Structure 1
Amino acid sequence: MNDSTTRKTLSLKKKAPAERKAPAERAESGEKPRKRSGARARQAALREHAQQTRPETGTGTDTGQKAKSRRPARDAAPGHPSRPQSGAPTRDRTGRSDANKARPGHARPDSPDDGQPRIQRLPRAPRQPRMSETFEAFAPCPHGLEEALMLELQALGHDAVRAGRAGCHFRADWAGVLRANLYSRLATRILVQVARAEVHDEDDILALARDTEWERWFGPEQSLRVDTSAIRSPMRSLQYCNLRAKDGICDRLREREGARPDIDTVRPDARVHLFLDERYATLYLDVSGESLFKRGWRLDKGEAPLRENLAAGLLALSDWPLDAPLLDPFCGSGTLLIEAAWIALGVPPGIWRPFGFERLRVHDARLWRDLKEDARARIAPRLEQPLVGCDIQPDAIEAARANAERAHLSPDTIRFEVCDARQMPPPAPAGWIVTNPPYGERLADEDGDLWPEWASWLKRHYGGWQLNIITSDLDLPGRMRLKARRRHPLHNGALDCRLFQFELVAAGYRDKT
C-alpha cells in the first residue's frame, strides 16, 4: 500500500440541528417519513395506542362510571420483526411478559410519568404442594437401625417403606413429610427427592441440577449448602461433582430470578444432597436442617455420649415395654433415660426444635402449627413406672438432671443417683437394663475387674431382669461369664459395636472366703 493511500474509516456524524427536517417539510418534499425502531419506538407506540383506546370520561349520569380497564393493550410496535403482531406479549425464561419489564431509564407504559416511585413486580409465588401430591423420600439412620426405622415409618402411616443401606425409602405427601420430621426418633434426617437421572460424567450432573425446579423450594434470598456422597460411583472426584451440582443450582436461579444464592456451609437456609451410584445421580432436598438427633435439650454431653436417635434405637431393639421399669447403671448425661421418658410420655422428638422446611418457600405455617398442637394434646401427664439412672461421677449426674430439666421433664420423672453400678440395688422386682457402659479408651486399666464384679452383683440381685449392653468389646460376654441370647450389629459413630442381650436368671452364688 502506498503512503499516499488514504484509509477509510467508518464514523457516525450527527446532523446539525439546522439540517434536520420537520415531518411537515418531509411530506412537502416527497420524502418518506423516517421509521423508528427499538425500545423508544415500542414505548411510543404503546402510549399512542393507549390514548386511542382510553374511554372518554362523561358528565352527568356518566360521571360515576369507571372504565373497565385503563391498562393499555400490549401490542407490538408496528413493523418491528422481533415482536409478534397478534397483540400477545412475548415471555422470557422466567415467564414474565416483556411489556411488564422495567427498562432502565423508562417508565412503565401504563403508568403516568409523574416521578412517583413504582412498585416492583415480585417473583411469582412458589407452587405449594397439593394434598394429593406425593414425594419419594429417604430417611438415613445409624447402621443397624434400618429394620427398626422401617417399622417406625410404617407405624407413622407412610407408604412403600423399604429398608436400604443405612436408612429407609418411603413415600409420603407433604403433611407426611412434616410428620416424619416431627415424630421419627430413629432417623437422622428426612431427604425429599427432587430429581433423578442417569449420568455419565460431571456435565450430566450440571445439566440435571440446572433443569431442576429449585425456585419452587428456595431462591437467591436464601443461603445454600450442597453435600455429595456416593456408593460405587465411577466419578473420579466427588468434590468436583459437588461443585457442578452447586453451579447448576446457582445458574438456574440466576436465569430465573436474576441472582444466585450465597453459599453457607455452617447454617444454610437450604441444604441439597447429591447421591451417586453406579449409574444414577439423585438430588435430595434436606427438609430437616439440623440432624434430627439434635432434640434441642442436650447441652451437657458428658464423656462419649450416645446420640439421641441411637439411644432410641437401643430401646427399640431391646423390646423394652413402655410400662416396665428401666435402669441405666452407667447413665452419664442421661441421654438414654430421657429418650425413654419421651417415648413413654408420647413426646414427639421434634416438638421443641426448629426445622429446615420452615425456611423454605413452600412452608405451610398453619399446617405445621396444627400438627404440633395435635401432638402436644396427646402427651401423657406423668409416668407410672420408675426410670432410674446412676453413675459414679457426680458431675455426670448433675449434667443429666440439667438435661432432663431442659427436656421439659418434671424432677420426679427420672430418678438420678450417684452410685457404683456394682452396688446399685434393683428399683423393682423385674424390669429392663439398657446401658452404654465405658469401653475402649473410656475404660481404665485399673477397672479390669469391673465386668466380673458387676456380673456377680447382677446374678445376686437382678434375677428376672433383661440386660441390654452396647459395646465395642466383642469379648464382653466372656468377661461377664454370661451367654448372650441375641447380638445386634450397630455403629456408635465410627465404632463397630454390638448390642448384647442377656436374660438374667437367679442362680446360687456364694462369696469366696
Structure 2
Amino acid sequence: MENFKMIAKTFFGFEEILAQELRVLGAQDVEIGTRMVSFKGDKGFMYKANLSLRTALKILKPIYYFRAKTDALLYKGIQGIDWSKYLNANQTFVIDTTIHSDFFKHSQFVSQKAKDAIVDQFREKTGVRPSVDKDFPDLRINIHIDKDQLSIALDTSGASLHQRGYKTATNIAPINEVLAAGMLLLAGWEGKTDFLDPMCGSGTILAEAAMIACNIPANINRKEFAFEKWNDWDNDLFDNIIDALMKRTREFHYTIKGYDKAPSAVEKAKANIKNANLDDYVTVSQQNFFDTKKETSGPLQMVFNPPYGERLDIDLERFYREMGDTMKQNYPGTHAWFITANLDALKFVGLKPSRKIKLFNGSLEARLVKYEMYEGSKRTKFQNREEEEE
C-alpha cells in the first residue's frame, strides 16, 4: 500500500502533542501547522490514526489542489477531479466548506457550486446523479479555501473524533473529550501515579485518563468512521489493526477516582465509565471536594474542569478561594491542573501557578494552570533537595 498525505485537525495549543502522538504511532513526514498537523501514511495507518489519536478532531485525506478567484473557476476545478474514483451515482455525499478568502464569501454558496459540478459530471457520464445526504452520507467532502488556494479533501472520520462512543449521559457543562485528553497529555499524565478528578461531572476526564493509563485506543468504542463507506474499505485490514492495537494495552497499578457533589452527575459518570468498559479502573463517588482529604500517601495527580460561572451560577470568588484552600491544606504531594475560562477567578485561588497554558474551551479563551502542593512547605522541599545534592 502506498503512502499519501493526511491532515489531522485539532484545537489551538494541541499541535505539538498531536504531532508527538503521530510520531509514536509511526507517521512519516510529520509537520505542525495551526490547529492541524500534516503527515503521511498508508490506508492501514489512516485506520490506525482514526482509532488511536486522542487529540485529533478529524483526519482529512487531500486529493486535489487548485487556484480559483471566480465561481466559474471553482466549478471548473471541481470538475477536474474524476469523482467516479470515490463515489458511485447511486451513493450520497455532503460537502463541508471553510473559507479564509476575499474572493469567496459564503461557504454555503461554495458547497452548492461544488455540488453542482459533481452531479453534472455524473449526469453527463452516466445519465444518473448522486444525491446529497447531510446526515448519513456515503462520502463527506471537505473544501478549504485560503485566499485563491483551494484544497479538496475526503473526510476519513465523519463525525468529529471527540465523539468517542462511550458518553451517553452528559451534565450541564460537559467537557469535550479531545480537550480532556489534550489537558491530560499536557499535564504529563502517563498512568504512573494515583489520579483524582475532584469535580468529575459526567466522567469525561476520568475515562480519558484511564484510556491513556492503559494505552487503550481513544476511539475503540466508536460506532463508525466515514472510511467504512468508501469504495476501497478493507474490513479485514481494519480488524487486524484493532487486534494489533489492543495487544499494546498495558496494566495499570494505581487508582483513578472521581468526586462530584451532585448525585445526578455521579450516576452519569458511572454510566459513561461502564459504557467505556473502564469500570475496573475508575471509581466515582458523591463527595464535595471541599470536604475531602488526600487518601493516598504517595504522589497524586489531579486534573479537573471547575465551573467558570458561564453555565453554572456560583459565587466565583468564594468557590475558587475554597478550591485553593482545599488543595493547599488537604492535598500535600499533589500536582493539580485545571482549566478555566474565567481568568479573573484565578487570583482568588491564593496559590501561584507553576505553569499557565493558553487553550480554548469552545469559543472561550482559557488557561490550563498547574499548582504544585508539596509535602510540608515549598521551602523545606528545596532545602531537603539541596541537602541531598550536597
TM-score (norm 1): 0.71
Q: Which moved more, 1:261-270 or 1:354-363?
A: 261-270
2:296 to 428, 442, 452: 428
After the TM superposition, which residues 240-279 of structure 1 pair with which residues of structure 2 at under 5 Å, given as runs? 240-279=109-148
8 A Cα contact 1:436 1:471, kept in partner: yes
> CA–CA distance in 2 between the matches of 1:493 and 1:469?
16
Aligned residue for 2:361? 492
Aligned residue for 1:463? 332
Over the aligned positions, Cα root-mean-square deviation in angstroms equals: 1.7
Larger Rg: 1
> Are residues 1:294 and 2:163 paired?
yes
> Are residues 1:190 and 2:59 paired?
yes
> CA–CA distance in 2 between the matches of 1:228 and 1:482?
45
Aligned residue for 1:329? 198
> Are residues 1:357 and 2:235 paired?
no
The residue type paired with residue 267 of structure 2 is E
Q: Could you say what secondary structure the match of 2:162 adopts?
A: coil
> Are residues 1:378 and 2:259 paired?
no
> CA–CA distance in 2 between the matches of 1:475 and 1:239?
39
Calculate percent identity across the aligned residue pairs.
Answer: 33
> Are residues 1:419 and 2:287 paired?
yes
8 A Cα contact 1:211 1:252, kept in partner: no
Provide structure 2 residue ranges, at least 5 long, that are not aligned to the other structure: 378-390
The residue type paired with residue 165 of structure 2 is G
Greater per-residue strand proportion: 2
Cα distance, 1:463–1:232 mapped onto 2, change above 3 Å:
farther
The residue type paired with residue 467 of structure 1 is A
The residue type paired with residue 146 of structure 2 is D
> CA–CA distance in 2 between the matches of 1:193 and 1:368?
21
Aligned residue for 1:30? none
CA drift of 1:446 comes to 4.0
Per-residue CA shift, 1:189-208, capped at 9, x if unaligned? 11000110111212222112
Aligned residue for 1:239? 108
CA drift of 1:232 comes to 3.7
After the TM superposition, which residues 24-35 of structure 1 pair with which residues of structure 2 at under 5 Å, given as runs? none
8 A Cα contact 2:316 2:345, kept in partner: no
Of structures 1 and 2, the one scoring higher in RCO (CA 8 A, sep 6+) is 2
Aligned residue for 1:393? 262
> Are residues 1:442 and 2:316 paired?
no
> CA–CA distance in 2 between the matches of 1:137 and 1:258?
33
CA drift of 1:377 comes to 2.7
Per-residue CA shift, 1:32-79, capped at 9, x if unaligned? xxxxxxxxxxxxxxxxxxxxxxxxxxxxxxxxxxxxxxxxxxxxxxxx
8 A Cα contact 1:386 1:427, kept in partner: no
After the TM superposition, which residues 21-60 of structure 1 pair with which residues of structure 2 at under 5 Å, given as runs? none
> CA–CA distance in 2 between the matches of 1:490 and 1:231?
22
The residue type paired with residue 238 of structure 2 is W
> CA–CA distance in 2 between the matches of 1:237 and 1:441?
31
Q: Could you say what secondary structure the match of 1:190 adopts?
A: strand
The residue type paired with residue 248 of structure 2 is R
Aligned residue for 1:315? 184
Q: Could you say what secondary structure the match of 1:441 adopts?
A: coil
The residue type paired with residue 283 of structure 2 is R
8 A Cα contact 1:229 1:274, kept in partner: yes
> CA–CA distance in 2 between the matches of 1:177 and 1:272?
16
Aligned residue for 1:280? 149
Q: Could you say what secondary structure the match of 2:98 adopts?
A: strand
8 A Cα contact 1:202 1:240, kept in partner: no
The residue type paired with residue 144 of structure 1 is G
8 A Cα contact 1:477 1:483, kept in partner: no
The residue type paired with residue 385 of structure 1 is Y
> CA–CA distance in 2 between the matches of 1:145 and 1:245?
32
The residue type paired with residue 417 of structure 1 is S
CA drift of 1:426 comes to 1.4
The residue type paired with residue 433 of structure 1 is M
The residue type paired with residue 362 of structure 1 is D
> CA–CA distance in 2 between the matches of 1:170 and 1:203?
32
> Are residues 1:181 and 2:56 paired?
no
Aligned residue for 1:144? 13
> CA–CA distance in 2 between the matches of 1:216 and 1:437?
49
TM-score (norm 2): 0.92
8 A Cα contact 1:440 1:472, kept in partner: no
8 A Cα contact 1:431 1:464, kept in partner: yes
> CA–CA distance in 1 between the matches of 2:189 and 2:245?
23
8 A Cα contact 1:468 1:501, kept in partner: yes
Q: Which moved more, 1:194-203 or 1:396-405?
A: 194-203
8 A Cα contact 2:92 2:130, kept in partner: yes
CA drift of 1:443 comes to 4.1
> CA–CA distance in 1 between the matches of 2:353 and 2:101?
36
8 A Cα contact 1:459 1:506, kept in partner: no
Divergent runs of 4+, >6 A: none
The residue type paired with residue 366 of structure 1 is D
Q: Could you say what secondary structure the match of 1:475 adopts?
A: helix
Matched length? 376
Q: Could you say what secondary structure the match of 1:442 adopts?
A: coil
> CA–CA distance in 1 between the matches of 2:214 and 2:89?
42
